[in-house]
Amino acid sequence: MSKDYSYEAVMSRKPQIMKDSVGIDYATFEAEGIGFDYERMMKETGYTLAEMQEIQGQTGVGNTPLLEMKNLTNLARKYAPAGKGARIFIKDEAANPSGSFKARRAANAVYHAKKLGYKGVIAATSGNYGAAVASQAAMHGLKCIVVQECYDSRYVGQPEIIEKARKCEAYGAEVVQTSVGPELFYVFLKLLEETGYFNASLYTPFGIAGVETLGYEIAMQFREKEGRDPDAVICTNAGGGNLTGTARGLIKAGAENTRIIGASVDLTGLHMASDEQFNRKSFTTGHTGFGVPFATNPDRSDVPRSAARPLRYMDRYVLVNQGEVFLMTELLAQMEGLERGPAGNTALAAAFSVAQEMKEDQIIVVQETEYTGAGKHINAQLTFARENGIEIFFGDPKQEEKGKNIILPEDLSLLKAQEVDLNKLRKSLVKNAASQAEKISDEDIQYLMTETKSSREFIEEQLQNLGINR
């Protein structure tokens, strides 16, 4: 008898499909109330730092160069008050085999899949992670399927995503594409069930722990180079794994005083599941459409409990506009001689602004870059934006209307990162986590304090506002 592969039938089998395809029984980490034991999950299902360095090292992942952006630093100082303008560094993650830091996540996930005896791996991603999984699968001799949301209903594809499909295929992976919509998850589940392959989710403990080596390397490289830890590390934030893994790595290195800053492209107002708006944005990742919902509700990901929990680590969250990132990408090429992909430069654009608030002898690190190429290039993306009716001009980027125009700063003094009220995000997380609960225990409160890196008073106040009884 053939299995029922209808939408409802497959979605109803989700828990079993997940369990079979990730090899983790998430139920064992669940607590009595609303929480779960995050650290135990990371410990029991992940790898130690030394093991990860070994796993990644075997496939040429990691140990990427740390570069000082001397010209951009001096340029930022032109717009900073006297004595201000921190030194800006970047970790050139584009030097990884698949061209981004995602190789770190994929190295662990694919190694783990191979160890558990899976014949292939599947990842649902329109981003660099697909290429990273495909590259690792190629090295380990595993089969690979990448599922990506790529085209709108007119079959017009985002050039950046089309390029990523090409890269996956270049590594011998099968690429399955869908039109716009979260039901891509159904296609993904169906493929997992049909093939019995491993779910190389971005959000498993081994995937997130794979980024810990990045944070750890940053601390070690700075101690060797400068004799101290950096003052701030700024991470482009989407699903939260980049920031979570990097922060955990810094903590493991003992760099406890390094501030962790998240940065996203502001796409507020654009609906991520909108067919019509899909091609009216110029960023397919690193933006608020992922950054905010995943921070405030991490378990919306494709595994029951996400290992990416950015609000546990974030000290500050800032936004920049599309025009500001495009400008910074061009300046990186023209003034530092480094041509890199735009999305990865989100944090660099923010760093240019944040550095101006910091002292001259301080250090801010942009912890990633990504590869660039046809489609995945500011020239291609600005052309595509114009073709889709987006106006592009110089002016004040703060006037940018998402989906209507892209405003490049007409003067570098106008490039200013905007502050996100972290407490607002924390409140939202508490609401998402606690609103279903009938009663909140002391254990739950402890959990929420850790989840949001905030005080007991703060959590109790939120619960009171929500009318939740203790």
Partner 1 sequence: MIKKGTWVKIQDTILESGQRAPQLPEDTKKVPLIMWAKGYLQEDAEMNSVATVKTLTGRLVTGKVMEVEPSYKHDFGDFVPELLQIGKMGRKALWGGEDHE
Q: Is 374 in the site for partner 1 (CB under 8 A)?
A: yes
* Candidate list 62, 85, 291, 375; residue touching partner 1; CB under 8 A: 375
Show Cβ contacts of residue 27 under 8 Å, excluding neighbours closer than 6 positions. none
Contact 67, 92 (CB under 8 A): yes
Six-digit token pair at 243? Answer: 């920031």
Q: Is 181 in the site for partner 1 (CB under 8 A)?
A: yes
Q: Which residue, 328 or 420, has its beta carbon nearer to partner 1? A: 328
In angstroms, give the least distance from the CB of 179 to partner 1: 4
DSSP annotation of 417? P
378 three-state secondary structure: helix
DSSP secondary structure letters along 226-252? TSS--SEEEEE-SSSHHHHHHHHHHHH
Q: Is 176 in the site for partner 1 (CB under 8 A)?
A: yes
Q: Which residue, 37 or 169, has its beta carbon nearer to partner 1? A: 169
Six-digit token pair at 348? Answer: 């660099």
* Candidate list 31, 67, 75, 220; residue touching partner 1; CB under 8 A: 75
- What is the Cα–Cα distance from 374 to 389, expressed in whole angstroms? 21
Q: Is 186 in the site for partner 1 (CB under 8 A)?
A: yes
* Candidate list 312, 377, 416, 426; residue touching partner 1; CB under 8 A: 377
Residues in the chain: 470
Six-digit token pair at 111? Answer: 């190694």
- Per DSSP bridges, beta strands 259-265 and 316-320 are parallel
- What is the Cα–Cα distance from 309 to 206, expressed in whole angstroms? 14
Q: Is 101 in the site for partner 1 (CB under 8 A)?
A: no
Q: Is 408 in the site for partner 1 (CB under 8 A)?
A: yes
Q: Which residue, 14 or 143, has its beta carbon nearer to partner 1? A: 143
- What is the Cα–Cα distance from 1 to 9, expressed in whole angstroms? 15
Residue 89: which H helix or E strand, with range?
Answer: strand 87-91
**Contact range with partner 1 by CB under 8 A, out of 33-41, 273-281, 310-318, 459-467:** 273-281
Q: Is 446 in the site for partner 1 (CB under 8 A)?
A: no
Q: Which residue, 174 or 460, has its beta carbon nearer to partner 1? A: 174
* Candidate list 251, 338, 412, 437; residue touching partner 1; CB under 8 A: 412
Longest dimension (CA), the chain: 76
Q: Which residue, 195 or 362, has its beta carbon nearer to partner 1? A: 195
**Contact range with partner 1 by CB under 8 A, out of 14-22, 28-36, 73-81, 84-92:** 73-81
DSSP secondary structure letters along 262-303? EEEE--TT--TT-TTTGGG-S-SSSBHHHHHHHHH-GGGSSS
110: nearest Cα among 127, 123, 98, 96: 123
Q: Is 195 in the site for partner 1 (CB under 8 A)?
A: yes
Query: How many amino acids of this chain bind partner 1 (CB under 8 A)?
Result: 62
Contact 171, 135 (CB under 8 A): yes
Six-digit token pair at 429? Answer: 């997380």
Q: Which residue, 150 or 260, has its beta carbon nearer to partner 1? A: 150
* Candidate list 40, 78, 456, 470; residue touching partner 1; CB under 8 A: 78
Q: Is 120 in the site for partner 1 (CB under 8 A)?
A: yes
Q: Is 12 in the site for partner 1 (CB under 8 A)?
A: no
In angstroms, give the least distance from the CB of 433 to partner 1: 20
Q: Is 183 in the site for partner 1 (CB under 8 A)?
A: yes
Show Cβ contacts of residue 67 under 8 Å, excluding neighbours closer than 6 positions. 89, 90, 91, 92, 336, 338
In angstroms, give the least distance from the CB of 377 to partner 1: 6
- What is the Cα–Cα distance from 175 to 184, expressed in whole angstroms? 13
**Contact range with partner 1 by CB under 8 A, out of 224-232, 268-276, 288-296, 431-439:** 268-276
Contact 425, 433 (CB under 8 A): no
Q: Is 271 in the site for partner 1 (CB under 8 A)?
A: yes
Residues 152-171 that bind partner 1 (CB under 8 A): 153, 159, 162-163, 166
* Candidate list 15, 57, 65, 182; residue touching partner 1; CB under 8 A: 182
**Contact range with partner 1 by CB under 8 A, out of 23-31, 184-192, 288-296, 313-321:** 184-192
Q: Is 384 in the site for partner 1 (CB under 8 A)?
A: yes
Contact 332, 338 (CB under 8 A): yes
Residue 388: which H helix or E strand, with range?
Answer: none
What ranges make up the beta strands (E) of 322-438?
A: 363-366, 391-395, 405-409, 418-419
Contact mark string toward partner 1, 318..337, x via CB under 8 A: ---------x--xx-xxx--
Residues lying near partner 1 in the complex (CB under 8 A) are found at 7, 71, 74-75, 78, 120, 143-145, 150-151, 153, 159, 162-163, 166, 172-184, 186-187, 194-195, 271, 273-277, 327, 330-331, 333-335, 374-375, 377-384, 386, 392-394, 408, 411-412
